[in-house]
Chain A
Amino acid sequence: MSTSQYFIRRVFISIIVFFGVSIVIFCLARLIPGDPARIALGPFATKEMVEQYREALHLNESIFIQYKIFIINLFQGDLGISTYTKRPVLVDLISYFPATLELVLMSGTLMILIGMPLGILSGKFRDTFIDHIARIFSLLGVVTPSFLWAIILMLFFAYLIPIFPVAERMDERLTPPTIVTGLLLIDSLLEGNFKVFADAFSHLILPALAIAMPAIGNVARLTRTNLSDVYDKQYIEFARSYSYSELKIATKFALKPASIPTVTIIGLDFALMLGNAFLVETVFVWPGMAKYGVEVILAKDLNGIVATVLIITFFYLIINMFVDFIVLLLNPRILKN
């Protein structure tokens, strides 16, 4: 199988899965107990209003037709009106998504930048003091819920040692940069506005860390195990017997095979972090998709809930394809099948 064949196959499967998810969440949304129209309009609506609402949303038709309409609307960008914000859901998504995107991307960066070196250090200096400290840290990361990390980080860095702010993305007194990508860090850099960049960064770091901690722990532990396993392998002994430089072994010949399972875990950990975003955005009052998601769930806004699930899934599928591609680069054996 060639690289492009593999790629096309992956995209195809992802599309099928995405449609599957849309079916599942759509069915769940339509099969709930209670009348969506009544929930949306509230207890004071008259029978006629409810009936009108039901007609407008095609709620009396069969579920297949409803799904067909839903998909057609989806492709036209119409995700319905949110009963919570009273705006089109698409507008809600566009305004809130960049904040979450930036947060999750930052968390991912932290996961790799902190998790992998931690694991490498642990693996290289196995059973030493460094290793033990790193392992305790990783373990605590894995077993502590993200919302608790958020609270602890908040207490520490905002109240005990006030370095970082605890709410919003940016200081209100500063002017935001012109919106190009919606990501404050990038937009401010594009403008050369370092003051805003630093401010946005300081707002970003605590929530991103809270989201990333379990993933950091996971990645560190796994990297450590993989690296140890690889160092025990015969091809490393062979490399030593043939005088490959020790540095090259550590950074190339041992690292590459060890990275393969780690990269796979990084993909799965993004799912973990996407879930954690919902908790952390709530604690830090971060104006993102996840906080919106929590609010629409509590408010029983069907359109909002469906849209949130779809966009999170979409995002996750893209990340997974990306991860698979990187694994392919690292591990040529995949194409064998």
Chain B
Amino acid sequence: MTAETGIGASIKRKEDHRFLTGKGRYTDDINRPGQTYAYFLRSPHAHAKINRIDTGKAKSAPGVLAVFTGQDATADKVGALICGWVVKGKNGEPHKAPPHPVLATGKARYVGDPVAVVIANSLAQAKDAAEQIVVDYQELPASVNLAKTLDKGAPQLHDEAPGNLIYDWALGDEAAVNEGFSKAAHITEIDLVNNRLIPNAIEPRCAIGSHDSGDDSYTLYITSQNPHVLRLVLSAFHGLAPEHKLRVVAPDVGGGFGSKIFAYNEEVVLVWASKQVGRPIKWTAERSESFITDAHGRDHVTHAELALDKDGKFLALKVDTIANMGAYLSTFSTAVPTYLYGTLMAGQYKTPAILCNVRAAVTNTVPVDAYRGAGRPEATFVLERLVENAARETGIDPAEIRRRNFVQPSEFPYQTPVALMYDSGNYEAALNKALELAGYAKFKSRKGEAKKRGKLRGIGFSNYIEACGLAPSQVVGSLGAGVGQWESAHVRFNPTGNVFVYTGSHSHGQGHETTFAQVVADRLGVPVEQVEVVHGDTQIVPFGMGTYGSRSIAVGGSAIVKACDKIVEKGKKIAAHLLEASVADIEYANGTFSVAGTDRSKSMAEIAFAAYVPHNYPLEELEPGLEEGAFYDPGNFTFPAGCHICEVEIDPDTGVVEIVKFTAVDDFGNVINPMIVEGQVHGGIAQGVGQALFEGAVYDGSGQLLTGSYMDYRMPRASDLPLYTVGLNHTPCPHNPLGVKGCGEAGAIAAPAAVMNAVTDALGISHMDMPATAEKVWRAAQAAS
């Protein structure tokens, strides 16, 4: 039974039935009796003083219950939105932390900045009333260009952040790097942009806030990746209610990719306002609203240099990045271009000296925060573009130059010069497997054949590594994190032998209801169909940190294993009593407790029943019941790694880039459900290809978002993508009980570099910034010919 359905089995997903039959329960599907609707009036200006907001007419419009502005929130002492990670700059000082009010106060700082909220009996009434609000804006010049926002004379966003600088941070050894460069036989340089992206989960953000005056408690239904963290923030930082009077429920969530981690203006306002109006308040983002309110991702400008010796060995790397925070600091924004970026600059290589300097800056744009990969795609892109260019400049084959620099399997644990200590991996094995699957040896002939048809073929590598399985709490605490990064699990048997598993993780597409059930089936011998995974409701599930950073199997899964271990420990004592043996003689395997050396045994189901009907039971020594909880704090990050190879064919007459083959060989350690893991790789690759070829949030000089809907923001479609060739390598993680590393972000981390390395190879150019649109590619092809 367990071999077909336990760990390692590609069983079908338990959650699929409701999604496929239209019985999913997403937040907008939920309606509360007496529900009202919120409409947020947002600044149409990127930067403007708010002289006055006139809400009188709006308040008396038909169906309106209330209209609130930032002044009302401040008067009621609603706390401002927080940034939860204090980054210390090179000067040892914490970063500048300009306030982020829940409704714009004094100034609006980005197009989309919420300025007022109307609550009415219907959404149409709320919208109509919002048109009656008169805002006296005094437009100010906007600072929109990231490369120029730190320059003297740039429009200043916040008094608290002089020069628009949030922090100037560095990691690494400047002296060692300078020495490395002084010895270089060759230096490769690159200037690149990591393009701003918009996460665009297909389910828009949605929230329903309500207050129960009977017991002065609040309930918030919301599309969140981490309901408990949100409850903590709303309670401790916004002061809306004590935690024990605030219930946050994240039901089915239609994709997150990071954008649903953060505590945003809307939910704070809804919870607060629900007490004012005395009725539930629902808000659902319209898509073009999502474009200007969901946290954006990426957005770096970087100069980087790689020093090599005469044999192509890396001597030193220096990276200088300006990272866009947007107009305000979002919840985890400061950590993304520092501890999730600079620390990955060793890549899979033994570069002995590294320096990464990052200046975080504000601009009059939507706030920027974690988006699938969060820092690691940016790091991989810099490094793998440099390595590929170094290979081309020195004439060393791109696979060979990597071989010469890999950390070898015998060298683990490997301490990088950028804080992280890698624990396990076999980078060369992944490369070799990828080369074979990609048919690398025959690429030249395919390129020649394509040329005969007037097409340009190119091939590109991306050897990525990432740090995920967030995170050892004390490590991130010492780096400025405001919270821990453990995870919780509670395993509860019912008398009839089926099981509830309460997890602090929160699936928004990852299939935890299936994979976590497989883990429990494997450990406790309970059939997968009899394991019910429960998540998302802070009233029911013990505190958890949620799902992001590819952490759920590594941290959440490990917590479940620990809880299962405790179940087995108690089960042995019960079995000993039932079997009239000593505990030391009880053996446990696959759901069966047996007396060593005999054929006498009890099943897990019999143990569970005995625990709840304790008639034949050691009550003097053991409590009845069979449920155990565990909190697991990981010993280290985990380090998935792999090799992605992208082969493109470009039509020089149209500039269209066709991905003819995309090969991914990833090492995620042990894998619970290979089908689900491959699905994560597919989806990540698609987002990485999207970044490389199609996507990019574009602002005009005055701070208007030009790519403001799906009309202009080019989401990848089925016809843009091929079938992917996916292979898995397995070097188990040595520090968690499942030996797993996590897989959710790897595709998005690796793919952009692979695609751009292929595109530049095909065109014979040294660089092109993403997205490599048809226009850009066509112009480059024309220029080259």
Real complex partners, A and B? Answer: no
